[in-house]
Amino acid sequence: MKKLIALDHSQLVAAFRDKGVLHIKEGNGKVLTLLKPDLWKPEMGHDWIFLLFDLFQIRSICEPFSEVSLDIIEYANKPTVYHSPANRIVKDGPMIDGVLKFSLIMEPIWNKLLFQISQPVLVKIDSKESNAYQTPLLFPLLSPSTKEMFLGPDGDVKIIKG
């Protein structure tokens, strides 16, 4: 286990680009597995979430959204996992009935890590991996105030977990 006081972005990004997978034990003690989407296999399960650093990345994984749906994402004040229909170009991936999960990570330090990776990344929370980097920083989606919502491309919204 490699201890990091803060997220050492250069070390983590280099490790991720080299192997395509990265395990980070965050401040709650949960191990996050970050994975390049093209390395995901069905036997890995479907409990993965796409992590995005920018609103414009949504286009690469989801059907085009209405302005209402984009505003909901942009102005969310709590960490939120969205369930939305996958873009047709996403042939394989952790989705159920054509719906995938994603989150726009706004917390500055985690956002910077995702920005430096510069592509949508899959995350599995609490993957139980033992060989992980460690940081005292809390991962935003592990907050008790995390919400889940369904967002459809036509502006339909359904709260799954409020």
Confidence of residue 130 (pLDDT cuts 50, 70, 90): confident
**What integer best gives the mean pLDDT of the chain?**
89
pLDDT of residue 153: 80
pLDDT of residue 132: 73
CATH number for position 106:
3.90.870.10
Which residue range is the domain that position 121 belongs to? Answer: 2-161
pLDDT of residue 6: 55
State yes or no: pLDDT of 1 exceeds 70. Answer: no
> CB 137: neighbour CB atoms within 10 A?
18
State yes or no: pLDDT of 4 exceeds 60. Answer: no
pLDDT single digits (tens) 9-48: 788 899 899 999 999 999 888 999 999 999 999 999 999 9
Mean pLDDT calculated for residue range 75-99:
90
pLDDT of residue 154: 81
The 3-class secondary structure across the chain, one letter per residue, is CEECCCCCHHHHHHHHHHHCEEEEECCCCCEEEEECHHHCCHHHCCCCEEEECCHHHHHHHECCCCHHHHHHHHCCCCCEEEEEEECCCCCCCCEECCEEEEEECCCHHHHHHHHHHCCCEEEEECCCCCCCEECCCCCHHHCCCCEEEEECCCCCEEEEEC
State yes or no: pLDDT of 85 exceeds 90. Answer: yes
Whole-number percent of the chain with pLDDT over 70: 95
The number of domains in the chain is: 1
State yes or no: pLDDT of 7 exceeds 80. Answer: no
State yes or no: pLDDT of 138 exceeds 60. Answer: yes
Distance CA 81, CA 35 (A): 17
